[in-house]
């Protein structure tokens, strides 16, 4: 095998210890705590795995994935409606394209910086591998805050952002999509500007509207997929979502569609949140109330506290929902939203399982505590992969100049999530139960690593 013969040309190298590896990454990436956190979490599982596999170890596959192929940053200048000039910073991190074109979302949020986008692009590399579709890992975005901006301001920002990004993306090179702060409205403006600049109608973005090449079910895919992952985990132990009390954080794309699918499967969602706090509705957020939330967030662009006023329930300002008693938890807002104190509440309340709709929502200390307590934990790179999976299906449909029905896409999404669950079992089954985090890390790594080996030292 070509990969083995390459390895034979290398002198035997001792695998670095976890500390040596992390010190090296820390020195090369100062001031990037989120990136280091993501690399640490994967390395903890992969270094022992490669220790007796010289073909991966000597060719330094893990070290290569932890150095993005490139990080592009650029100025974005745009004007407010009153003429005020604003300067933001835009980024695209192209982490790894061993198994396909770079693929991953764009995040518009004031917290965005290089560390956050590097962690997201790194995670995306393993996540995309788990889907079984040919997509490499990338992520991008800007510290632009769409909150409180008019549609025309958002449009001008998107046009300015795309005027630079256009130089770095393409349907066979890098295909962005949405993430926090980037939904259907923003994708539409970005697509329009890309088309204007290139004079090409291309599948260069996913999450497009269905009238211009978007896949049916892409809006639903991440939230639905996160619930399918939970369903797979529970089915594996002969249980079901029906009748379970569910705590969901966030109230955006992922949280709302996760809530819809939980309702359909007979669970009861009692919380939603945003950056100002959470609402607790013990009667459950049924589909009628959920439609009200979707309108609040997508059209009126209001705050979740308005739900408590409208439906007469409690709002907890500046708090997160993890101390609410629950059977199942679905963090669907942002990174590091479950810390050790939150984990101890979940454990005390006998939460059984967590499916991460968000990327890296659980801190390392919280992960250890939850795993030790026997709480099932599906990591974001497995549990929220349904979104990018349907993005991959959107790329396939664009290439074929064809559109599948909602049912066809949903069936494929279910199969993909079942396949991800199987891969987690294949590499994560342990005496004490299934370590889904380890299973996802190793399965994702093996796929990317084998492609890198086949393609030589580049
Ligand atoms: P949205 O912008 O639609 O919604 C984000 C939600 O999270 C909002 O309720 C927002 O509240 C809340 N939120 C964002 N930042 C913070 C913060 N710092 N503290 C507290 N709450 C916060 O984004 P998505 O639903 O698309 O994304 C949610 C998560 O899911 C992210 O981690 C994203 O990376 C991940 N994800 C998204 C996918 C997708 O397809 N969209 C795919 C896979 C993962 P507020 O409105 O107040 O800011
Ligand atoms: O984190 C993610 O997987 C996403 N934001 C979706 C990426 C995509 O390309 O659909």
CA nearest 28: which of 142, 136, 115, 93? 115
Taken in order of first residue, the domains within the chain and their CATH numbers are: 2-63 (no CATH), 70-201 (3.40.50.10860), 219-385 (3.40.50.720)
Query: Does position 6 have pLDDT exceeding 60, yes or no?
Result: no
Please state, in angstroms and as integers, the Cα–Cα distance from residue 252 to each residue in 155, 220, 248, 277, following that order. Answer: 20, 11, 11, 14
Digit-coded pLDDT (tens) for 405-451: 999 999 999 999 999 999 999 999 998 889 999 999 999 999 999 99
Catalytic, out of 139, 244, 261, 297: 139
Tokens of residue 402, six digits: 């064809």
Query: pLDDT class for 3, splitting at 50, 70, 90?
Result: very low
Ligand 1 atom nearest to 178, measured from its CA: 41
Query: Does position 8 have pLDDT exceeding 60, yes or no?
Result: no
Q: Are 451 and 263 in contact (CB under 8 A)?
A: no
**206 close to ligand 2 (CB < 6 Angstrom):** yes
**271 close to ligand 1 (CB < 6 Angstrom):** no
Ligand 2 atom nearest to 135, measured from its CA: 9
Query: pLDDT class for 13, splitting at 50, 70, 90?
Result: low
Query: Does position 291 have pLDDT exceeding 80, yes or no?
Result: yes
Report the DSSP pairing between strands 314-317 and 277-280. Answer: antiparallel
Tell me what the mean pLDDT of segment 128-133 comes to: 98
Digit-coded pLDDT (tens) for 247-286: 999 999 999 999 999 999 999 999 999 999 999 999 999 9
* Dist CA 106 CA 141 (whole Å): 4
Instruction: Give the mean pLDDT of the chain.
Output: 96
CA nearest 217: which of 350, 394, 360? 394
| CB-CB neighbours of 200 under 10 Å | 10
Query: Does position 313 have pLDDT exceeding 90, yes or no?
Result: yes
> pTM value?
0.97
**390 close to ligand 1 (CB < 6 Angstrom):** no
Query: pLDDT class for 1, splitting at 50, 70, 90?
Result: very low
Query: Does position 303 have pLDDT exceeding 90, yes or no?
Result: yes
* Dist CA 262 CA 52 (whole Å): 42
Concerning whether 208 is annotated as a catalytic residue, the answer is no
């Amino acid at each position: 095998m070509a990969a083995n013969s390459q390895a034979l040309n290398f002198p035997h190298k001792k695998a670095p210890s976890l500390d040596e590896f992390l010190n090296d990454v820390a020195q090369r990436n100062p001031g990037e705590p989120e990136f280091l956190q993501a690399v640490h979490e994967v390395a903890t599982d992969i270094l022992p795995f490669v220790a007796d596999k010289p073909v991966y170890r000597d060719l330094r596959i893990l070290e290569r994935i932890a150095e993005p192929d490139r990080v592009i940053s650029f100025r974005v200048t745009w004007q407010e409606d009153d003429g005020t000039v604003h300067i933001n910073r835009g980024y695209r991190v192209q982490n790894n394209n061993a198994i396909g074109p770079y693929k991953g979302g764009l995040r518009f949020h004031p917290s965005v910086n290089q560390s956050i986008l590097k962690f997201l692009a790194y995670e995306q590399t393993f996540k995309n591998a788990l889907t079984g579709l040919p997509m490499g890992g990338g992520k991008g975005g800007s510290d632009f805050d769409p909150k409180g901006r008019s549609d025309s301001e958002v449009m001008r920002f998107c046009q300015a952002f795309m005027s630079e990004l256009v130089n770095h993306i393409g349907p066979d090179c890098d295909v962005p999509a949405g993430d926090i702060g980037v939904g259907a409205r923003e994708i539409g403006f970005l697509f329009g500007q890309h088309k204007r600049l290139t004079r090409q109608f291309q599948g260069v973005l996913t999450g497009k509207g269905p009238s211009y090449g978007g896949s049916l079910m892409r809006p639903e895919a991440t939230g639905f997929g996160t619930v399918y992952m939970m369903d797979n985990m529970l089915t594996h132990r002969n249980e079901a979502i029906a009748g379970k009390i569910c705590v969901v954080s966030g109230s955006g794309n992922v949280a709302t569609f996760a809530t819809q699918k939980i309702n359909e499967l007979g669970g009861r969602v009692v919380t939603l949140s945003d950056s100002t706090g959470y609402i607790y509705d013990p009667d459950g957020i049924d589909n009628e109330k959920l439609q009200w939330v979707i309108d609040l967030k997508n059209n009126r662009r209001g705050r979740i506290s308005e739900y408590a006023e409208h439906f007469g329930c409690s709002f907890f300002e500046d708090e997160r929902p993890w101390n609410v008693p629950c059977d199942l938890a679905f963090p669907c807002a942002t990174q590091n939203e479950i810390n050790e104190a939150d984990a101890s509440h979940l454990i005390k309340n006998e939460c059984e399982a967590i499916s991460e709709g968000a990327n890296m929502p659980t801190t390392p200390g919280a992960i250890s505590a939850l795993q030790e307590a026997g709480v099932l934990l599906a990591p974001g790179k497995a549990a929220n992969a349904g979104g990018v999976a349907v993005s991959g299906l959107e790329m396939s449909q664009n290439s074929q100049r064809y559109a599948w029905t909602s049912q066809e896409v949903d069936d494929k999404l279910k199969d993909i999530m079942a396949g991800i669950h199987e891969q987690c079992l294949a590499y994560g089954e342990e005496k004490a139960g299934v370590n889904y985090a380890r299973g996802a890390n190793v399965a994702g790594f093996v796929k990317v690593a084998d492609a890198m080996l086949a393609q030589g030292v580049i």
